[in-house]
Structure 1
Amino acid sequence: MYLTLPLQDVFTNTLYLQSCLLLCVLVSALETVTSKYGDTIEIPCNNGRVVEAEVTFVKWKYDKDGNILVKHRDQNATVSNDVNYKNRVSIKDFGLVITQVAMADQRTFTCMVVVEEDILEYPVQLAIYKVPSQPQITNLTTVMAIGKPTTLAQCHSEGANPAANITWFKNKTPLVTDGAAIKIITNVDVDEETGLSTTTSTLEYTAVKGDIDAKFTCQVQHIKSANMDSSPLVFTVNYPTEKVNLQVVSQGPFKEGDNVTLKCTADGNPPPSSYNFFINGEEKTVDSSMYTLTSVTRENTGEYKCSLVDNEDIVASIPITVEYLDVVLSSTGKIVKKLGESLEMTVDVKASGAPQTSWKKGNTKLNSLPKFHKLTYSDSGVYECIVSMAGLKKTQTFELVVEGSPVIKNLIKARGEGMTKVLKCAAEGFPKPTVQWSVNGSNVSLNDLLLNGLSSHPVVVFPLSPVVHKDEYSDQTILAVCIVVGLMLAVLAIGLAYWLYMKKFRQGSWKTGEKEDGSAEESKKLEENQSQKADV
């Protein structure tokens, strides 16, 4: 299908198209010069391609009717009285020089040149730019609540041309208005006097729990400067408590008499200022997160809880065990028993766990609980029962004393240095016996027992002597008596009776040819004599 137009309309449309094409060519060919706000700028005439010899007249003007200056050949330039330029312009090589460039100078300037009989015009567009100021944060809030839209801050940058752009970031990721959680409002205001722009951006944000410790920044962007970032902004994020936690601050395990401190914490922000503690089933409201149990006993063993004051359904619990250890011996202190009697000790242990028990006699460790079927003197001593468990340790002691008449265990002779002999007498009893030696009726010290083998001594028996141990030596006869003196008067009576018996029947003598050590027969006779004395 074809559209038919009248011939006149076709001609009119053709002229209109030609005019548009000419205007487009002129606009696209318009030279542009850029200057920084406040600087001095030189606008060239025909980009400096003017031959001075051919020029008779140059005139600079702006827009349509604004005259700035005129210069004739071989004359100084004449500046017009235009208030906008009379004190700020000059001419240099036909170029227009403007000082203290302002936003009002952002317009088209035309250089009109008269050469011979022709007039030429060269229009130039002057563009002014100004770098914006650093980003400034105002109307800053410090707290935002989860799920609640909050105006966090305003970021603005002043004195720019063209106007600066502002972008918000969270953890270096740009924020974009989504109409729900993020809302960014940007305004540009132009100063009437300077013509410079101030850009202001307001961030409204709805926080989530993941925004804790998030860093927000605003960035100013401009075509004539590098991007400029504000200092990071960190906001406090408030959110309700969803969970509480109960922990024991004190170091365990716990024993009776210890203090036990509990601490209740919540995951909300801000945290609660008070909590409910449930102690042995009893509710206690405390204006603190801490609660201390003082001097705990085994009755304090159990489960403990804490909760929010206004919501006891949000609760936490923890078990606490108070360790205890009780040790009771069947007998303690000093226990006195007779020689040959029996003794059985028992120990009663009550504990919250599995204890370990050990026994010692003095510094010697025993394998088990001491049991005595027939007490001997060697059983006497201090016994210690040690029971330990979970940091607890209890010790119980008793002292066993075995009493009985003094008994000479044996009388032994041994070879000394040279021709000397050494006699040894071993005795036991409680109270502790006193041992005394006598040679030929004279008391001697231990050194006097080293006898010269060349001497001979008659046999002498003393009334107090319970036993005479005899032996023969070659070339000599020695009589030695070992007397054991007890603390009881009965010992004196026994010794006197024995002396009368020996005087009536016989006196002992040392026989020749016996071995150096006392024979088994002599030891047996010695024990029989001691038994007879004990029976008297």
Structure 2
Amino acid sequence: MHWFALLTCILTVSLVNQVSSLETVSANYGETVTIPCNKGLVKAEDVTITKWKYDKGNILVKLRDQNATVLDDVNYKTRVSLKDDFSLVITKVTMDDQRTFTCITVVSADILEFPVQLAINKAPSPPQITEQATVMEIGKLTTVAECRTEGANPAANITWFKNKTPLASDGTAIKISQAVDVDSVTKLSATTSKLEYAAVKEDVNAKFTCRVQHVRSADMESSPLNFTVNYPTEKVSLQVVSQGPFKEGDNVTLKCTADGNPPPPIYNFYIKGEKKTVENSNTYTLRNITRADTGEYKCSLVDGEDMVDTAQITVDYLEVVLSSTGKINKKVGESFEITLDIDGSGTTQTSWRKGNAKLEKAPKFDKLKYSDSGVYGCVVSMGGLKKTQTFELIVEGAPVIKSLINKKGDGTMNKVLICVGEGSPKPTVQWSINGTNVDETAYVDGKITYSLTLIPKVNLTVSCTVSNDLGSDIRSINVSTFADDVTMDKQDMKQEQSEQTTMVVGIVVGLLVAALAVGLAYWLYLKKFRTGTWKTGEKEDGSAEESKKLEENQSQKADV
């Protein structure tokens, strides 16, 4: 290859007539890049020789009308090729390819040089958190964590954030240090940033993150960092956990909390003046409280009893006592009154009922009746408390037959006897004769009705006897046969007709006598007035005084 040596000599000693300005081409790490030559400034048919080189050696040479010859450079022998427009193609670029490549062309008597700078880009890896702190103390500068990203070119930048707000070093409470390392083999950069931070109490729930920023990739942010912030207790609080209002018999739980972190493992509770120390818990439960438990309660730290807080507990109570309870037996006609004694911690409301019926006021009876028997109850309420008291009033009395009647039955020969009794306990009945359809009504308000159906063959007297534990009563009634009833009905009709006739005659006679009396009285009246007043055919010669006397006499007669 003597021609190659000759060409190299010519290109070395020849004077370069034109040098273009330095151009930059970018390529991604590991990919294929095309580096242009002269950008069309020189026509391909005018070029007799083309050569590509770099600062450490020659890459390839091409003579006109011949194929390009790749030289024995170990870096590019297997990775380069030449395009028709003399552009250089390099595959699998690495950081070692980030250099200046020069395209030399011979045109006529001129030698032209076109240098191109190749820049290699590589996106960094996602952020990696190391050396993370788990506990921080207020005011003490502590390493929060280190954030690292690798395999980048150019080197990536790292920014720290607290609650999405960027942090900047201030030299005291915040210190951020960043370092870039280059891998000796790959020549790629790794960026490491360390955050030192002096926590404050408000950082208990703060979220710290680091963000990797690079020209060839989108920003990448780490997961939030969590750690515990320790700080001393400044305040103790006592809370009544159980929901009030409280009543006697309830359980009430108290909870003591301190605002320090970590919280104290032990507390003092002051229960009615007595100190109770509780370990590994911050609660204390009062069980089955009474009204005596109403008052002030306290809690404090064991190693700082001056840090104390208080809470007030009020226990509501309600007691209801009836003057009489259970079953109350009274005699019919007696008086009875119930009284209610209420002892409560607040204003109460009372309602009364008899069975399911509401009463306007407490039961009070001047004279008991059987209908007053029943179950009475009162409900006394106060806030969430409610007390119910009941009693059963039983009005008793010896039975009395209120009525005993005889009426015709449904059949032509039947008679139905109805005996109405009243008493308490419920009276039983005894008939003096047997019959059919023996029945009784419901026993209501001390009253019951018994019935007996019979067909009398002869006239007879039937007795009804009602009795209970307090006494008995008997009443009898005459029961006639059906034939006697017919005869009696006819006699009753005749007697009724006779009585009606007699009554009519008496009325007529009475009317005639009254008419005669009225006529006679009227005739006498007219006769008297005419006799004392006028004289037919005679002249009135009397004096004024006589006339006056005459008028007075007539007036007196009229009054009579």
Deviation at 1:189, TM superposition (A): 1.6
* 1:217–1:231 Cα contact (<8 Å) kept: yes
For residues 224 and 426 of structure 1, the distance between their equivalents in structure 2, rounded to whole angstroms, comes to: 113
For residues 82 and 67 of structure 1, the distance between their equivalents in structure 2, rounded to whole angstroms, comes to: 7
Partner of 1:157: 149
In structure 1, which of residues 300, 325, 328 is the aligned counterpart of residue 321 of structure 2?
A: 328
What do residues 317-348 of structure 1 show as CA deviations (whole Å, max 9, x unaligned)? 43333333323233334444455544443332
Matching residue's letter, 1:457: N
For residues 53 and 373 of structure 1, the distance between their equivalents in structure 2, rounded to whole angstroms, comes to: 142
Deviation at 1:71, TM superposition (A): 4.4
* 1:437–1:445 Cα contact (<8 Å) kept: no
- Residues 1:125 and 2:117 aligned together: yes
Partner of 2:297: 304
For residues 297 and 96 of structure 1, the distance between their equivalents in structure 2, rounded to whole angstroms, comes to: 98
Partner of 2:430: 436
What do residues 241-266 of structure 1 show as CA deviations (whole Å, max 9, x unaligned)? 45555444445443333333333444
Deviation at 1:73, TM superposition (A): 4.8
Partner of 1:483: 465
- Residues 1:230 and 2:222 aligned together: yes
Partner of 2:349: 356
Partner of 1:457: 459
2:96 alignment partner, SS class: helix
Instruction: Quickly say closer, same or farther: Cα 1:178–1:430, change in 2 above 3 A.
Output: same
Deviation at 1:269, TM superposition (A): 4.2
In structure 2, which of residues 18, 23, 29 is the aligned counterpart of residue 37 of structure 1?
A: 29
In structure 2, which of residues 265, 283, 307 is the aligned counterpart of residue 290 of structure 1?
A: 283
* 1:246–1:316 Cα contact (<8 Å) kept: yes
Partner of 2:162: 170
Matching residue's letter, 2:33: I
For residues 193 and 414 of structure 1, the distance between their equivalents in structure 2, rounded to whole angstroms, comes to: 133
* 1:358–1:366 Cα contact (<8 Å) kept: yes
Partner of 2:193: 201
Partner of 1:137: 129
For residues 224 and 200 of structure 2, the distance between their equivalents in structure 1, rounded to whole angstroms, comes to: 19
Instruction: Quickly say closer, same or farther: Cα 1:445–1:172, change in 2 above 3 A.
Output: same
Partner of 1:369: 362
Instruction: Quickly say closer, same or farther: Cα 1:27–1:176, change in 2 above 3 A.
Output: farther
* 1:436–1:443 Cα contact (<8 Å) kept: no
Deviation at 1:78, TM superposition (A): 5.5
Instruction: Quickly say closer, same or farther: Cα 1:339–1:62, change in 2 above 3 A.
Output: closer
2:53 alignment partner, SS class: strand
1:357 alignment partner, SS class: strand
Alpha-carbon RMSD across the aligned residues, in angstroms, is 4.1
In structure 1, which of residues 413, 417, 426 is the aligned counterpart of residue 420 of structure 2?
A: 426
Superposed, 1:3-22 pairs within 5 Å as none
Partner of 1:276: 268
Deviation at 1:103, TM superposition (A): 2.6
For residues 276 and 28 of structure 1, the distance between their equivalents in structure 2, rounded to whole angstroms, comes to: 88
TM-score between the two structures when normalised by the length of structure 1 = 0.69
Matching residue's letter, 1:290: T
Superposed, 1:519-534 pairs within 5 Å as none
* 1:360–1:384 Cα contact (<8 Å) kept: yes
Matching residue's letter, 1:109: F
For residues 405 and 307 of structure 2, the distance between their equivalents in structure 1, rounded to whole angstroms, comes to: 87
Deviation at 1:163, TM superposition (A): 1.6
1:299 alignment partner, SS class: helix
What do residues 44-87 of structure 1 show as CA deviations (whole Å, max 9, x unaligned)? 33335444554444444333x74444445566656555554455
Q: Which runs of 5+ in 2 are unaligned?
A: 1-17, 439-450, 477-487, 493-560
Instruction: Quickly say closer, same or farther: Cα 1:281–1:70, change in 2 above 3 A.
Output: same
For residues 363 and 370 of structure 1, the distance between their equivalents in structure 2, rounded to whole angstroms, comes to: 15
For residues 236 and 44 of structure 1, the distance between their equivalents in structure 2, rounded to whole angstroms, comes to: 58
For residues 394 and 108 of structure 2, the distance between their equivalents in structure 1, rounded to whole angstroms, comes to: 150
Deviation at 1:152, TM superposition (A): 1.9
Q: Which runs of 5+ in 1 are unaligned?
A: 1-25, 459-478, 499-509, 514-536
1:159 alignment partner, SS class: strand
* 2:20–2:115 Cα contact (<8 Å) kept: no
In structure 2, which of residues 246, 252, 255 is the aligned counterpart of residue 260 of structure 1?
A: 252
Matching residue's letter, 1:156: R
* 1:48–1:95 Cα contact (<8 Å) kept: no
Deviation at 1:375, TM superposition (A): 4.5
Deviation at 1:377, TM superposition (A): 4.8
Matching residue's letter, 2:28: K
For residues 62 and 412 of structure 1, the distance between their equivalents in structure 2, rounded to whole angstroms, comes to: 145
What do residues 196-235 of structure 1 show as CA deviations (whole Å, max 9, x unaligned)? 2212122223334444444433222222333333334344
Instruction: Quickly say closer, same or farther: Cα 1:410–1:103, change in 2 above 3 A.
Output: same
For residues 75 and 143 of structure 2, the distance between their equivalents in structure 1, rounded to whole angstroms, comes to: 44
Instruction: Quickly say closer, same or farther: Cα 1:483–1:46, change in 2 above 3 A.
Output: closer
1:29 alignment partner, SS class: coil
Matching residue's letter, 2:101: F
Query: Bigger radius of gyration, 1 or 2?
Result: 2
TM-score between the two structures when normalised by the length of structure 2 = 0.66
For residues 358 and 88 of structure 2, the distance between their equivalents in structure 1, rounded to whole angstroms, comes to: 115
For residues 79 and 353 of structure 2, the distance between their equivalents in structure 1, rounded to whole angstroms, comes to: 113
Deviation at 1:186, TM superposition (A): 1.4
Matching residue's letter, 1:353: G
Partner of 2:171: 179
Matching residue's letter, 2:184: E
Identity fraction in percent: 67
Partner of 2:105: 113
What do residues 73-104 of structure 1 show as CA deviations (whole Å, max 9, x unaligned)? 56665655555445544544544444443333
* 1:323–1:351 Cα contact (<8 Å) kept: yes
Deviation at 1:164, TM superposition (A): 1.6
**Alignment coverage as a number of residue pairs:** 448
Instruction: Quickly say closer, same or farther: Cα 1:33–1:358, change in 2 above 3 A.
Output: closer
Q: Which segment drifts farther, 411-420 or 174-183? A: 411-420
